[in-house]
Amino acid sequence: MLDTPASTLPADLAGPNDFSLTLMEIALTGFVLLRPVYDATGETMTDLAYEYLNPAAQQMLRLPQRPTESFLTRFPNAGPVGIFAFYRDAFLSGQTQREAFNFQHDGLDSYFHLVARRQGALLVVSFLDTLDPLPAAQAREQAARTAETRTALVEAEQQREHLRVQQGLLGQIIGQVPAAIATLSGPEHRYSFFNDHYQRLVAGRAAQGRTVAEMLPEIREQGFLALLDRVYTTGQPFSGTETVLLLPGAAAGSAETRYIDFIYQPLFDGQERPQGILVFIADVTDRVRSRKQAETVQAAMLAVVQRQAQQRQDLFQIFEQTPVSIVLLREPDHRIDHFNPAFVELFPPEAWTGPLRGHTLSEVYPRIRLAGLVELMDMVYATGESQAVIDMPLAKLHPGSPRYVTFAYQAYREEGRIVGVAAFVYDVTDQVLARQQVHALNAELAAINQEMLATNEELKVANNRLTRTNSDLDTFVYSASHDLKSPITNVEGLLLALREHLPATAFEVPLVPRLLGMMDDAVARFQQTLGHLTDVTRLQQGQPGHLAEEIDLPTLVDAVRLDMLPELTAAGATLTVDLAACFTVRFSAKNMRSIVYNLLSNAVKYRTPDRAPEVQLRCHAAPDQVVLEVQDNGLGLSAAQQTELFRMFRRLHGHVPGSGVGLYMVKKMVENAGGSIAVQSQPGVGSTFTVTLPNAG
């Protein structure tokens, strides 16, 4: 028997598999370890490389322990006979495969019984040559070895059972770790394991046996692939903290920025040679973004506070007009430096009759220490870290008050030194009472649900109640959008009044005009969204808008063409219309015009820049139906984009202006009339929208 040191085995099997190696060395059955060879694309298996042959296999195949030539080079007829296909299918399936082959080629004349199964990155093959009878002496030796092997196999099975239990426990532990974990095999970094957290992080693109480079090509330019190579080559671990990771976003061509803490830990075989890498990733995006946002807000605020006296005075003038209660305190004893009218209105002193400025909060408001607020301000002054008290009953400071407030404390600096604390106080009474009402309603609903469990009849009543509640949601959205128009109009008027009453010096502060412009833009966007919500709600409630009537379809389309003429001319578009089979259609004229206009407009807007737009509008009649088709040669849509196409406020191409409700409204108009809309599309080729409408004649 030949003794084979572990160093001659591939890294995948060296080390913890010494017992398996001993079994293969003494077995009279042939064992071969093969590694797949792929084409240039890395997708198709074209051959197999020999990694190891046990002594029995060497004798039966007349090969050395590790041949340098590949499987198909040594046995070219294994392809036509079907042995290579058998090996390939066994590797790809990952299941145990059995087959018998009569192989009388390439210097062999045998009838082989083959068993193959994938193990990690290798294919394990055992075989027996049934046409090679054993001499009597060898048969006796084989019987003795078989008895020894059985004993060894029993011990091996016990060890395997123990290993399975340990692996099961390890799998449970890894499954509960709130981090992304994966193991990579070999210098190509092929996936051999990954948990659910890792799969979610990479959007489901990890696959067993595939390399990181082919499944996550974007990490090469970001330097992560070079780090993996370095860890595998040097055997030294690498860790990164709050490292930027760019992953493809949901929209085509977009990227999503994530921040990760990660460790690349090399995995070694029994001879301390790297055979893989353990990847441990913690997604800290929320933590980093929250800190950066807090730092940005604090830096912006403190930059304003730290300006010269004139700038501070301008800021105070703005504070005077804001509805938020603001007080600036000088440290270390929290003396009032400045406050606005809203602060005094919310916190009128009870027994204090003198001026507030220059006196401590504890002097003016003795109960403030009982509420625990002074300790928080001390902490802000000492550490510079912001603090907040959420939804505090104002009765702690003013007994009997029904109001609730939220305190936000921030340190401000002058010449790099903390000199005080800025306190912002928000009246959140309405929000707290509304939340309490919701909690009360939830408690009431829970009680009702308990009662509903009494009988099946009560359960049926509850289901009907829930159905009615769902039906009322659209009405609520419509009412909310209608009721919000008045407040946003009031906000718009207040902004106008603020512009008129602000002193001229206030506009010299760069922050003031910019903030006012941002508020104007926000009001305009809010008003546009309310308009869309009103239209969408009408459609969601199934309101047709207008009754069906006989429509001269060619005349309606000509009117839409005239409206779109500037758009068609500017794009150099060609519009071909074939309505010979549909002169009249019974439908809402307003809705039909909206459907045609939206589909034709989208066909022109989402054109590809490398060719002139060509748009076709066709119509044909079916029994009790009219079918409209709009076909273009534009950008086209992927399968993933098509699933998102008709969702409200969903825009798939950011370079074209729009609100994302056009196709949603078209779909609702069609479905409310009992019709349907579908799309067939291919990226780079174009799209065809098909609208099927009932035609009552």
Alpha carbon distance 203, 184 (integer Å) = 18
Q: Which two tokens stand for residue 429?
A: 């009474």
Beta bridge mates, 425? 325, 407
Q: Residue 70: pLDDT band by 50, 70, 90 thresholds?
A: very high
Whether the per-residue pLDDT at 269 is higher than 50: the answer is: yes
Least confident of 103-117, 355-369, 502-516: 355-369
Whether the per-residue pLDDT at 270 is higher than 90: the answer is: no
CA distances from 656 to 270, 653, 660 (A): 59, 6, 10
Confidence (pLDDT) at 354: 73
Of residues 467 and 443, more confidence is placed in 443
Of residues 274 and 348, more confidence is placed in 274
Q: Which two tokens stand for residue 420?
A: 């005080």
Please name which of 377, 375, 372 lies closest in space to residue 412, comparing C-alpha atoms: 377
Q: Which two tokens stand for residue 312?
A: 């501070």
Query: Can you tell me whether residue 552 is helix, strand or coil?
Result: strand
Whether the per-residue pLDDT at 263 is higher than 90: the answer is: yes
8 Å CB contact between 385 and 366: no
8 Å CB contact between 98 and 1: no
Of residues 534 and 266, more confidence is placed in 266
Least confident of 313-317, 373-377, 386-390, 440-444: 313-317
Query: Can you tell me whether residue 38 is helix, strand or coil?
Result: strand
pLDDT > 70: percent of the chain? 76
Alpha carbon distance 50, 43 (integer Å) = 20
Phi/psi for 190 (5° steps) reads -90, 140
CA distances from 504 to 183, 268, 341, 495 (A): 65, 72, 21, 16
pLDDT tens-digit readout, 17-45 = 455 666 677 777 889 999 999 998 888 99
Query: Can you tell me whether residue 31 is helix, strand or coil?
Result: strand
Give the H/E segment covering residue 300. helix 285-305
Peptide bond connecting 64 to the previous residue in cis, omega within 30 degrees of 0: no
8 Å CB contact between 547 and 592: no
Whether the per-residue pLDDT at 565 is higher than 50: the answer is: yes
Phi/psi for 398 (5° steps) reads -125, 95
Alpha carbon distance 258, 241 (integer Å) = 12
Of residues 173 and 674, more confidence is placed in 674
Beta bridge mates, 99? 114
Confidence (pLDDT) at 211: 96
- Give the pLDDT mean for 468-475: 55
Residues 6+ apart with CB under 8 A from 557: 577, 579, 596, 617
8 Å CB contact between 52 and 45: no
Whether the per-residue pLDDT at 158 is higher than 80: the answer is: no
Within a 10 A sphere around the Cβ of 136, how many other Cβ atoms? 7
pLDDT tens-digit readout, 568-625 = 999 899 999 999 888 888 888 888 898 999 899 888 988 998 999 999 999 998 878 8
CA neighbours within 13 Å on the CB side: how many for 286?
2
Beta bridge mates, 265? 278
Confidence (pLDDT) at 265: 94
Alpha carbon distance 166, 361 (integer Å) = 63
Least confident of 444-453, 493-502, 534-543: 534-543
Confidence (pLDDT) at 15: 44
Please name which of 7, 91, 6, 12 lies closest in space to residue 48, comparing C-alpha atoms: 91
Confidence (pLDDT) at 3: 42
- Give the pLDDT mean for 487-495: 82
Please name which of 146, 141, 193 lies closest in space to residue 171, comparing C-alpha atoms: 193
Alpha carbon distance 196, 200 (integer Å) = 6
- Give the pLDDT mean for 264-282: 90
Alpha-helix runs per DSSP H in 541-672: 553-563, 565-571, 589-605, 639-644, 662-672
Phi/psi for 397 (5° steps) reads -105, -35
Of residues 229 and 14, more confidence is placed in 229
Confidence (pLDDT) at 217: 94
Of residues 565 and 354, more confidence is placed in 565
Whether the per-residue pLDDT at 429 is higher than 50: the answer is: yes
Query: pTM value?
Result: 0.31
Confidence (pLDDT) at 132: 47
Alpha carbon distance 432, 349 (integer Å) = 24
Alpha carbon distance 27, 127 (integer Å) = 11
Q: Residue 2: pLDDT band by 50, 70, 90 thresholds?
A: very low
Mean pLDDT computed over every residue of the chain: 80
DSSP secondary structure string, 438-452? HHHHHHHHHHHHHHH
Alpha carbon distance 92, 593 (integer Å) = 55
pLDDT tens-digit readout, 656-696 = 555 556 788 888 888 888 899 999 999 989 999 999 998 75
Query: Can you tell me whether residue 231 is helix, strand or coil?
Result: helix
- Rg, C-alpha atoms of the chain: 38
pLDDT tens-digit readout, 129-144 = 765 444 445 445 555 5
CB burial of 640-670 (b: ≥16 within 10 Å; e: otherwise) equals ebbeebbebeebbbeeeeeeebbbbbbbbbb
Confidence (pLDDT) at 16: 41
| Amino acid identity for residue 334 in this structure | H
Peptide bond connecting 323 to the previous residue in cis, omega within 30 degrees of 0: no
Whether the per-residue pLDDT at 556 is higher than 90: the answer is: yes
Per DSSP (E only), the strands in 300-416 are 325-330, 335-339, 387-393, 404-414
Confidence (pLDDT) at 6: 43
Confidence (pLDDT) at 141: 57
Q: Residue 7: pLDDT band by 50, 70, 90 thresholds?
A: very low
Please name which of 118, 119, 79, 85 lies closest in space to residue 99, comparing C-alpha atoms: 85
Whether the per-residue pLDDT at 567 is higher than 80: the answer is: yes
Whether the per-residue pLDDT at 166 is higher than 70: the answer is: no
Alpha carbon distance 403, 254 (integer Å) = 46
